[in-house]
Amino acid sequence: IFGFGCSTCKKLKKLVDNIVRQNKLEANVEYITDFAEIDKFNIMSSPAIMIDGEIKAAGRVPTRTEIENWIHRSP
């Protein structure tokens, strides 16, 4: 999760944490707030979510279903 600490960013982090916990997934969920790190990935709006090195969404909180689909499709 990439974000600057705003309420929307925190909402996405909480949603992802809940999905990981409820599905008993082994996942490394990071919340990156450092501008230099975010800039490395050319992210222009937050929050953003990356799964397995691919930015899946930026500037919005994806739905629970979207996130679950992305997770289950990843290798």
Determine if the pTM surpasses 0.85.
Answer: yes
> What would you report as the CA-atom Rg of the chain, rounded to the nearest whole angstrom?
12
Q: What is the pLDDT of residues 9-40, one digit of tens each?
A: 999 999 999 999 999 998 899 999 999 999 99
pLDDT of 75 over the 70 cut? no
pLDDT at 73: 83
Angle of helix 7-22 relative to helix 64-73, nearest 10 degrees?
A: 50
Nearest to 51 by CA among 19, 6, 22: 19
Q: Domains of the chain: which residue ranges?
A: 7-73
Does 45 or 74 have the greater pLDDT score?
A: 45
Among the CATH numbers 1.10.287.3510, 3.40.1180.10, 3.40.47.10, 3.40.30.10, which is that of 7-73?
Answer: 3.40.30.10
What is the pLDDT of the chain when averaged over all its residues? Answer: 94
pLDDT at 64: 97
